Amino acid sequence: MSQKLAPIDWRTLVKVFEAEGFTRSRQHGSHIAMVKPGIARPIIIQQGTHVPVFIIKNNLRTAGMSRERYFAILSSL
C-alpha cells in the first residue's frame, strides 16, 4: 500500500528535489525555480508556506519522479 501525500514545509521539499539532482536557478520574490538537465520545465516552490498536495503532485509529475522515490528521499532526510 502506498503512502499518502501530505503538505510539507517548503524547505523539506527543496531538500527532496536537491537530493534528486535539481539546483536552484533563480528566485523571484517568494518563488524558487529549480532546474535539472534533461527536465524541460523548472520546478517552482513557494517559500513561507506548507506546500499543498496538488503542488507536490504537479512538481513530481514535472520532474518525472515516482511517489516511491519521493518517499524514499523524504525518509532519508
- Tell me if 66 is assigned to some domain: yes
- Tell me if 41 is assigned to some domain: yes
Q: What is the pTM of this model?
A: 0.88
pLDDT in tens, 25-62: 998 889 999 999 999 999 999 998 899 999 999 999 99
Q: Among candidates 53, 27, 1, which has minimal Cα distance to 35?
A: 27
- Tell me if 1 is assigned to some domain: no
Q: Among candidates 32, 29, 20, 36, which has minimal Cα distance to 71?
A: 20
Residue span of the structural domain in which 67 resides:
8-76
What is the CATH classification number for the domain harbouring 63?
Answer: 3.30.920.30
- Tell me if 2 is assigned to some domain: no
How many separate domains does the chain show? 1
Examine the pLDDT at 1 and tell me if it is beyond 60: no
- Tell me if 3 is assigned to some domain: no
- Tell me if 48 is assigned to some domain: yes
Q: Among candidates 50, 68, 56, which has minimal Cα distance to 17?
A: 56
Strand residues in 12-66 grouped as ranges (E): 23-28, 31-35, 43-46, 50-51
